[in-house]
Amino acid sequence: MASFSGGASLMAGFRLLRQRPGLLAPWALAWLLVGLAPQILPYAVLWPDVVAAYGPMFHDAVAGIEPDQQSAELMTLQNRMLPFSLLQLPLSLAGLSILYAAVYRAVLEPKAKGFGYLRLGRAELWMMLTQAAALGLFVLASIAALIVGAIAVLAIRIASGNDDGVTGIATFGACLIAAILLGWCAVRLSLALPMTFTERRFRLLESWALTRGHGWKIFGVMVGLVAILLLMEVALVMVVMIVAVAAGVSGGLTGLEAQLQGLFSHPPAVWLPVLGPWLAVGTVVYAVMAAALHAITVAPLAEIYRQLAGKPAAEV
């Protein structure tokens, strides 16, 4: 039976960025174009409505008043946002497919370089279909788990004589079991996208066979990734605090929050020019960090698939 190295897979993204740091620039640009831009475009197009809806909410929040979540302006904004919301899912699937495929291509097909391994072709289109099918399967599985869990909890409640304590324990147990089962299925199907990319055709349940006997090891890699991301988040918070102190903000994050609240108490015409440069720099930093995190989190599954499929290691 084929196997894989958990340590080598966990560090695949770091190794990729160390060997080819030049990939960060095109991937950061891709994040801005296919990741961030579709999210902020509706707000840019509907900016007057955004200001009308959220301006009073900012003022109320700064003054310590509960914002009105049902204002006429907010309802109008939500209605105008609906056409954009309907486009979010296909745009997100397309963007993720392009970004995922770039990492897969760097790990599995390193000679097909191009511009940062970025392109939109047959592999990406099949990946969109696989992602849509996986999302639909997850929704159906979640609904089934909800129905079965609700029936089980109701039966236990009736059997216990409507005991609230027993019902609470049963509800927690049902949620825990459902989360474990759904998580295990996600682990077993986790190689569907690398398989789809490599074979240029729809692959989903085929991942179940490929991961047989390796579920716990793949789970361990995922746990390792979560731990790494948590450590990176702590490091990022420390960096933000250092930058805030260097910029003359006293009190750390609390002082920064107080200054932002004071700034938001003014109309957008006042605080936008002040925050504009910071937003521009923050956007660039975000894009680079997003590109790096994307490689760190996506490359491990590509590396696991490469080893289990018996494909040769990439030559740098």
Whether residue 312 is predicted with pLDDT greater than 90 in this model: the reply is no
Whether residue 140 is predicted with pLDDT greater than 60 in this model: the reply is yes
Model pTM greater than 0.95?
no
Name the more confident of 128 and 267.
128
The percentage of the chain sitting over the pLDDT mark of 90, rounded to a whole number, equals: 47
Mean pLDDT of 287-310: 92
Whether residue 131 is predicted with pLDDT greater than 80 in this model: the reply is yes
Whether residue 204 is predicted with pLDDT greater than 70 in this model: the reply is yes
When mean pLDDT is compared across 73-77, 154-158, 299-303, the lowest value belongs to 73-77
When mean pLDDT is compared across 86-95, 231-240, 241-250, 296-305, the lowest value belongs to 241-250
Mean pLDDT of 29-46: 84
Mean pLDDT of 66-94: 78
- State residue 72's pLDDT score: 75
When mean pLDDT is compared across 83-87, 185-189, 211-215, 289-293, the lowest value belongs to 83-87
- State residue 123's pLDDT score: 94
Whether residue 20 is predicted with pLDDT greater than 80 in this model: the reply is yes
Q: Which residue has the tokens 């932002």?
A: 260
When pLDDT is cut at 50, 70 and 90, the band that residue 54 belongs to is: confident
pLDDT in tens, 168-193: 888 999 999 999 999 999 999 999 99
Whether residue 274 is predicted with pLDDT greater than 90 in this model: the reply is no
When pLDDT is cut at 50, 70 and 90, the band that residue 18 belongs to is: very high
- State residue 228's pLDDT score: 93
Name the more confident of 210 and 47.
210
- State residue 283's pLDDT score: 84
Whether residue 252 is predicted with pLDDT greater than 80 in this model: the reply is no
When pLDDT is cut at 50, 70 and 90, the band that residue 315 belongs to is: low
pLDDT in tens, 86-111: 888 888 899 999 999 999 999 999 88
Q: What average pLDDT does the structure give for the chain?
A: 84
Mean pLDDT of 141-157: 91
- State residue 129's pLDDT score: 96
